[in-house]
């Protein structure tokens, strides 16, 4: 029979109570929900760091039971999946003294499992595809924007190409659901890591940070995964099944995002090397985000840096 120290049990009960309170705030105060969802894993991470995986798992189970008693089992399952897996995963990785990128990777993997399970539960239990609902909202927004421009006297033919471009992008979105889930998991794990680091340091716990942004660099093999996506789309023309196209498009989206981030890391390196002022750096970043052609150059810079390592020249 597993025995826990009195200190572990007391801290587990206290942090479970904090997690329950935060969960109710997240459920019933919509304006704070997004921020609180990122904070929710922190008590579980702290328990995992100090007392290991088993006590953090027990705390998550207790939290789920309390939420189920007040809000029902479905709400409890959703809440536990949304923060429990990430908190246990990151806490376990920190207990093992993993590097920051490994801690982030474990958190991202746990977040992906959580997102996939929640997505499937939404489909099976409620018959709702949340991503398709988002797409429909965007379609309604496009229609509303078109009507607004018409009322303002803008020639419909002027904005027609832009609206058609966005319509085509929305038509592709159902194929990109896997990539969207992956990127959402990476983003939420990164934000959770940063918030956890700030809170835990305030509480006196040391949590190693990522290397400086200008040092970030993807492994060389990622370029081959990107090329694999290109090849899969080309092969679809010879073996039309839809699967190769979907696989290729998802790989392209994931690694295009990754190379775009790496391109900014390369840019940050050279801006720092030549002592560019902070104000000018902000202006450059805003300009790059607002100019599609320049954003494409940043992506290409990140992709080629994977092979040639411009910062090491």
Q: Count of residues for the chain? A: 313
The answer to whether residue 247 scores a pLDDT higher than 80 is yes
- Sequence-ordered list of residues with C-beta below 8 angstroms from that of 196, at least 6 positions apart, any chain: 41, 42, 45, 90, 207
Q: Is the pLDDT of residue 90 over 80?
A: yes
Which letter, b or e, does each residue of 85-112 get, where b requires 16 or more Cβ atoms within 10 Å of its Cβ? bbbbbbbbbbbeebebeebbbbbbbbbb
More confident of the two residues 306 and 159? 306
16: Cβ contacts below 8 Å, ≥ 6 apart: 43, 59, 62, 63, 66
- Centre a 10 Å sphere on the Cβ of residue 308 and count the other Cβ atoms it contains: 10
Structure confidence at residue 4 (pLDDT): 62
pLDDT at 143 over 50: yes
pLDDT score of 1: 40
- What are the Cα distances from residue 307, in Å, to 66, 211, 218, 254? 52, 20, 10, 18
pLDDT > 90: percent of the chain: 25
209 secondary structure, DSSP code? P
pLDDT of residue 15: 80
Dig out the tokens for 96 from the structure: 């093992």
192-233 confidence digits (pLDDT tens): 899 888 888 888 888 888 999 999 999 999 999 999 999 998
Integer Cα distance of 186 and 194 in angstroms: 12
Least confident of 26-40, 61-75, 266-280, 299-313: 26-40
Confidence bin at 239 (pLDDT 50/70/90): confident
What's the chain's average pLDDT? 84
pLDDT given for residue 267 in this prediction: 92
Q: Which pLDDT tens digit goes with each residue over 34-69? A: 677 788 888 888 888 888 888 888 888 888 888 888
The residues, any chain, with a CB within 8 Å of residue 32's CB and separated by 6 or more, are 25, 26
């Amino acid at each position: 029979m597993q025995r826990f120290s009195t200190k572990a049990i007391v801290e587990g009960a206290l942090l479970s109570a904090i997690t329950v309170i935060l969960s109710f705030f997240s459920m019933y105060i919509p304006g704070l929900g997004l921020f609180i969802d990122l904070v929710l894993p922190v008590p579980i991470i702290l328990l995992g760091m100090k007392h290991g995986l088993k006590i953090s798992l027990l705390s998550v189970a207790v939290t789920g039971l309390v939420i189920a008693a007040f809000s029902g089992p479905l709400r409890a399952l959703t809440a536990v999946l949304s923060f429990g897996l990430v908190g246990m995963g990151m806490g376990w990785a920190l207990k093992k003294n993993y590097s920051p990128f490994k801690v982030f990777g474990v958190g991202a993997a746990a977040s992906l499992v959580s997102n996939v399970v929640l997505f499937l539960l939404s489909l099976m239990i409620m018959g709702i595809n949340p991503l398709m609902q988002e797409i429909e909202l965007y379609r309604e927004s496009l229609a509303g924007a078109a009507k607004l421009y018409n009322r303002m006297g803008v020639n419909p033919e002027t904005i027609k190409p832009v609206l058609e471009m966005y319509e085509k992008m929305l038509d592709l979105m159902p194929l990109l659901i896997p990539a969207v889930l992956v990127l959402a998991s990476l983003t939420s794990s990164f934000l959770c890591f940063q918030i956890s680091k700030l809170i835990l340091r305030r509480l006196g716990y040391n949590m190693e940070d990522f290397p400086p942004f200008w040092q970030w660099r993807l492994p060389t093999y990622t370029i081959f995964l990107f090329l694999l996506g290109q090849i899969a789309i080309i092969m679809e023309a010879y073996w039309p099944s839809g699967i190769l196209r979907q696989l290729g498009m998802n790989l392209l989206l994931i690694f295009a995002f990754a190379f775009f981030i790496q391109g900014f890391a390369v840019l940050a390196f050279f801006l720092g090397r030549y002592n560019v002022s902070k104000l000018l750096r902000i202006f450059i970043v805003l300009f790059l985000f607002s100019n599609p052609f320049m954003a494409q150059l940043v992506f290409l810079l990140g992709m080629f840096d994977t092979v040639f390592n411009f910062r090491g020249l």
